């Protein structure tokens, strides 16, 4: 395993799965009974993905995972909200029981939820209530910039959760921000060291 490129084997699997997705070479042929039987007795996902609920963004397909490889939690704006018990229960179980190696916040181009942050007053009460509790705001000269900034805000929220911070410290739990381009299938990954977004190479090794 190339530890310089990947902090752990789970992230290598995510990136290599993404490349298979991009290049139209999926190993996943669709869920059927034979897969269910193969994974029935184990659950050892390497990563948890927190994704926007946009129907055009399907983490299992984008990372070309087989069943049992990733846990997915989805909500509008891919937000980390400590007062959301559903989110917190899933997160805690993934970190402490399943001991995932990575948590990925997955934003995407054209995110209507981020665009709506500019017009909260126009929304129905339920949607406004949810978007209003994001502890993020529309920041950026373009929608793409605002969406990426929201991913970074959610990563910050993640780091403030005690069980996450503890796992980062104790066993190197890796936190990632990614941005999926719906129109091209390309993916960018945030590099915290250089503070830059960079496209993931789509070349299969
Ligand atoms: Zn979205």
pLDDT per position as a tens digit, 136-176 = 889 999 999 999 999 999 999 999 999 999 999 999 999 99
Please tell me the distance between residue 72's alpha carbon and the centre of ligand 1 in angstroms. 15
Q: How far is the CA of 153 from the centre of ligand 1 (A)?
A: 15
Cα(75) to ligand 1 centroid in Å equals: 8
Measured in angstroms, how far is the CA atom of residue 7 from the centroid of ligand 1?
Answer: 27
Q: pLDDT confidence of 114, banded at 50, 70, 90?
A: very high
If you measure from the C-alpha of residue 173 to the centroid of ligand 1, how many angstroms do you get, rounded to a whole number? 25
**Is the pLDDT confidence value at 121 over 80?**
yes
State which residues form the domain around 26.
Answer: 9-35+42-199
Residue 191 falls inside a structural domain: yes
Q: How far is the CA of 108 from the centre of ligand 1 (A)?
A: 6
Q: Is residue 4 part of a domain?
A: no
**110 alpha carbon to ligand 1 midpoint, in Å?**
7
Smallest CA-to-CA distance from 116 within 177, 54, 57 is with 54
- Judged against a pLDDT cut of 70, whether residue 134 lies above it is answered with no
Ligand 1 centre to CA of 171 (Å) is: 31
How remote is the CA of residue 41 from the centroid of ligand 1, in Å? 34
* DSSP 8-state code for residue 50: E
pLDDT tens-digit map of 52-99:
999 999 999 999 987 789 999 999 999 999 999 999 999 999 999 999
Distance 39 CA to ligand 1 centre (A): 30
Please enumerate in sequence order all residues whose Cβ is within 8 A of that of 102, keeping only pairs 6 or more positions apart, or say none.
7, 8, 10, 11, 14, 46, 47, 48, 173, 174, 175, 176
- Output the CA–CA distances (angstroms, integers) from residue 82 to 98, 99, 100, 152, 164, in the order listed: 20, 19, 19, 16, 12
SS3 180: strand
Number of domains in the chain: 1
Q: Count CA within 13 A, CB hemisphere, residue 56.
A: 12
CA–centroid distance, residue 34 to ligand 1 (Å) = 33
193 pLDDT higher than 80: yes
Distance 106 CA to ligand 1 centre (A): 9
Helix H segments across 48-176? 59-62, 85-92, 112-116, 125-132, 143-159, 162-171
The answer to the question of residue 62 being in a domain is yes
Distance CA 9, CA 189 (A): 17
Please give the distance, rounded to the nearest whole angstrom, from the Cα atom of residue 57 to the centre of ligand 1: 8
Q: With beta carbons less than 8 A apart as the criterion, state whether 104 and 47 touch.
A: yes
Give the CATH number of the domain where residue 184 resides: 3.40.1050.10
Q: Are 104 and 190 in contact, with CB atoms under 8 Å apart?
A: no
> Is residue 166 in a domain?
yes
**Contact (CB, 8 A) for 152 and 97:** no
Distance CA 13, CA 10 (A): 5
State pLDDT tens for residues 174-190.
999 999 999 999 999 99
Averaged confidence pLDDT in the chain: 91
Which pLDDT score, from 0 to 100, does residue 105 have?
A: 98
Task: Judge whether 192 lies within some domain.
Answer: yes
For the chain, first and last CA: distance in Å? 12
Count the neighbouring beta carbons within 10 Å of the beta carbon of residue 43.
12
pLDDT at 24 exceeding the cut of 60? yes
Give the model's pLDDT for residue 1: 46
How many angstroms does the Cα of residue 181 sit away from the middle of ligand 1?
11
């Amino acid at each position: 395993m190339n530890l310089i490129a990947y902090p752990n084997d789970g992230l290598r699997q995510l990136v290599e799965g993404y490349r298979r997705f991009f290049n139209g070479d999926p190993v996943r042929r669709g869920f059927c009974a034979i897969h269910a039987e193969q994974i029935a007795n184990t659950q050892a996902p390497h990563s948890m993905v927190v994704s926007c609920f946009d129907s055009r963004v399907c983490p299992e397909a984008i990372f070309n995972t087989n069943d049992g490889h990733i846990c997915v939690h989805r909500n509008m704006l891919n937000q980390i909200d400590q007062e959301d018990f559903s989110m917190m229960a899933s997160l805690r179980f993934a970190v402490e029981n399943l001991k995932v190696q990575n948590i990925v916040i997955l934003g995407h181009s054209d995110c209507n939820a981020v665009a709506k942050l500019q017009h909260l007053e126009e929304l129905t009460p339920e949607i406004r209530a949810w978007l209003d509790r994001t502890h993020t705001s529309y920041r950026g000269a373009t929608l793409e910039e605002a969406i990426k900034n929201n991913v970074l805000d959610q990563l910050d929220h993640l780091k403030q959760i005690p069980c996450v911070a503890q796992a980062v410290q104790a066993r190197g739990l890796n936190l990632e921000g990614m941005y999926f381009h719906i129109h091209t299938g390309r993916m960018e990954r945030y590099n915290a060291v250089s503070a830059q977004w960079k496209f993931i190479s789509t070349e299969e090794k």
